[in-house]
């Protein structure tokens, strides 16, 4: 029994030594000698394991590449989102730049930070501007955007200022319609309200005789001295039913969306005094000119029609008199006692209705 165990131990030791010797021989073999052995093993016994390992590594590679692809897609999506925001901001800044170049002078550019009113549905009623009194901003200075009127300065600190938007309950602006004849006062439609109505305006105090069609553009009138004439406020949507008898009230869609305001221009008092001219399209002046041209055209047409009628009447009169004289001569009748009509004397010209046409165009040519 002991001999068997001893023999077993010797066999074990022999096997271990044999394995170690073979291993050491494999270790010390030259590269060109061991490569064929390894290659033979890979092609025969280990071939299935090599296939498994290759497949697993392919899975791993495809998994990693899929993750990388997904990361690239995510990055591109993020860039696309940022691009849209940047494009929007770029457009806004270009417009602001364009407005600045049209104004030329008398304004202070500023960035706008939105402030919401607590308790409301994120209603934006004030803006914090990154420019203050040291830049020339004063209280009640108009705040404008490329689209039109934004609000007015409420507080001007040295380095920053706070502006109230047209949504603020304290906002008022004297306004005029595009025809230049209809005036009113613009108020917030639903101050402190919620939803889209809180961002609408009302044009109140419009005389009953004046009717504004939907789509009519409303501008600041320049009355009151706070806002210069010609800044776009918005467009008329519809008339509102009120208890007022002598005045009308209209719902106005503001030209400027508060959510899009990121940078604004603040007009200086000197610029307010001297006006802004045609910066916002000056549709008021253009409409007046259009009306004048149309009126002049109407006057000319009326004068031409009157002249044509007079000429036709003169011809008919001459023909009638010539025919009567011929008949009388044929019948040997004496001419009538009544004095002959002097057709050589020019008739008194028919003056056209007074209008804006050029003088001297209403004369009748001598017959």
- Name residues whose C-beta falls within 8 Å of residue 279's C-beta, 6 or more positions apart in sequence: 99, 102, 103, 230, 231
- Which residues of 157-209 form beta strands (DSSP E)? 161-165, 173-177, 183-188, 201-207
15 binds other proteins (CB under 8 A): yes
Q: For other proteins, give the closer residue by CB, 13 or 289.
A: 13
Instruction: Write down the least CB distance from residue 14 to other proteins, Å.
Output: 7
The site string for other proteins over 117-156 (x = CB under 8 A, - otherwise) reads ----------------------------------------
Q: For other proteins, give the closer residue by CB, 22 or 84.
A: 22
Q: Are 144 and 264 in contact (CB under 8 A)?
A: yes
Place of tokens 């306004």: 175
- Name residues whose C-beta falls within 8 Å of residue 267's C-beta, 6 or more positions apart in sequence: 103, 106, 107, 141, 142, 143, 144, 228, 276
186 closest CA partner among 245, 259, 250: 250
34 binds other proteins (CB under 8 A): yes
252 closest CA partner among 239, 264, 263: 239
Q: Which of 6, 7, 53, 83 binds other proteins (CB under 8 A)?
A: 53
Binding segment for other proteins among 56-64, 93-101, 102-110, 139-147 (CB under 8 A)? 56-64
38 binds other proteins (CB under 8 A): yes
315 binds other proteins (CB under 8 A): no
20 binds other proteins (CB under 8 A): yes
Q: Which of 3, 4, 6, 22 binds other proteins (CB under 8 A)?
A: 22
Q: For other proteins, give the closer residue by CB, 6 or 139.
A: 6
Q: Tokens in use for 197? A: 């109505």
73 binds other proteins (CB under 8 A): no
Place of tokens 């802004």: 276
Burial of 177 (0-12, 13-18, 19+ CB in 10 A): buried
266 closest CA partner among 155, 163, 147, 122: 163
Binding segment for other proteins among 34-42, 172-180, 229-237, 296-304 (CB under 8 A)? 34-42
Length of the chain: 367
78 binds other proteins (CB under 8 A): no
What letters, b where the CB count within 10 A reaches 16 and e where it falls short, cover 271-282? Answer: bbeeebeebbeb
Instruction: Write down the least CB distance from residue 75 to other proteins, Å.
Output: 24
Binding segment for other proteins among 50-58, 97-105, 144-152, 216-224 (CB under 8 A)? 50-58
Instruction: Write down the least CB distance from residue 18 to other proteins, Å.
Output: 8
Q: Tokens in use for 30? A: 């030259």
294 binds other proteins (CB under 8 A): no
Number of shown-chain residues binding other proteins (CB under 8 A): 34
Binding segment for other proteins among 49-57, 81-89, 221-229, 301-309 (CB under 8 A)? 49-57
Burial of 320 (0-12, 13-18, 19+ CB in 10 A): exposed
Q: For other proteins, give the closer residue by CB, 60 or 347.
A: 60
Distance CA 220, CA 116 (A): 26
Task: Kindly state the DSSP code that residue 356 receives in the 8-state scheme.
Answer: S
Identify the three-state secondary structure at position 204. strand
5 binds other proteins (CB under 8 A): no
Q: Which of 6, 7, 55, 102 binds other proteins (CB under 8 A)?
A: 55
Instruction: Write down the least CB distance from residue 1 to other proteins, Å.
Output: 16
Q: For other proteins, give the closer residue by CB, 64 or 71.
A: 64
Binding segment for other proteins among 9-17, 94-102, 181-189, 258-266 (CB under 8 A)? 9-17
Distance CA 142, CA 274 (A): 13
Residues of the shown chain interacting with other proteins in the complex, contacts defined by CB under 8 A: 8, 11-16, 19-20, 22-29, 34, 37-38, 41-42, 45-46, 49-50, 52-53, 55-57, 59-60, 63
């Amino acid at each position: 029994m002991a001999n068997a165990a001893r023999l077993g131990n010797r066999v074990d030791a022999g096997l271990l030594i044999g394995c170690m010797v073979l291993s050491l021989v494999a270790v010390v073999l030259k590269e060109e000698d061991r490569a064929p052995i390894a290659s033979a093993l890979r092609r025969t016994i280990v071939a299935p394991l090599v296939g498994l390992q290759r497949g697993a590594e392919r899975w791993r590679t495809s998994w990693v590449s899929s993750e990388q692809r997904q990361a690239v897609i995510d990055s591109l999506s993020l860039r696309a989102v940022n691009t849209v925001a940047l494009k929007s901001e770029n457009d806004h800044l270009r417009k602001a730049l364009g407005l600045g170049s049209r104004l030329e002078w008398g304004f202070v550019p500023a960035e706008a930070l939105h402030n919401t009113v607590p308790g409301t549905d994120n209603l934006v009623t004030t803006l914090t501007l990154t420019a203050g009194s040291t830049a020339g901003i004063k209280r009640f200075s108009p705040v404008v955007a490329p689209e039109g009127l934004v609000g007015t300065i409420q507080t001007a600190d040295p380095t920053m200022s706070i502006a109230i938007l047209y949504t603020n309950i304290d906002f008022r602006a004297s306004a005029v319609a595009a025809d230049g004849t209809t005036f009113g006062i613009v108020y917030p439609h639903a101050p402190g309200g919620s939803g889209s109505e809180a961002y609408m305006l009302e044009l109140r105090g419009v005389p009953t005789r004046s009717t504004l069609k939907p789509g009519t553009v409303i501008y600041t009138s320049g009355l009151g001295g706070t806002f210069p004439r010609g800044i776009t406020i918005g467009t008329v949507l519809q008339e509102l039913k009120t208890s007022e008898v002598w005045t009308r009230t209209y719902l106005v869609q503001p030209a400027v969306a508060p959510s899009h305001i990121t940078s604004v221009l603040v007009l200086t008092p000197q610029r307010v005094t001297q006006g802004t001219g045609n910066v916002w399209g000056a549709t008021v002046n253009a409409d007046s000119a259009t009306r004048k041209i149309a009126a002049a055209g109407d006057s000319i047409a009326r004068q031409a029609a009157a002249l044509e009628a007079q000429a036709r009447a003169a011809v008919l009169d001459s023909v009638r008199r010539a025919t009567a004289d011929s008949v009388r001569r044929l019948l040997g009748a004496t001419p009538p006692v009544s004095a002959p009509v002097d057709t050589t004397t020019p008739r008194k010209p028919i003056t056209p209705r007074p209008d804006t046409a050029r003088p001297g165009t209403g004369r009748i040519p001598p017959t």
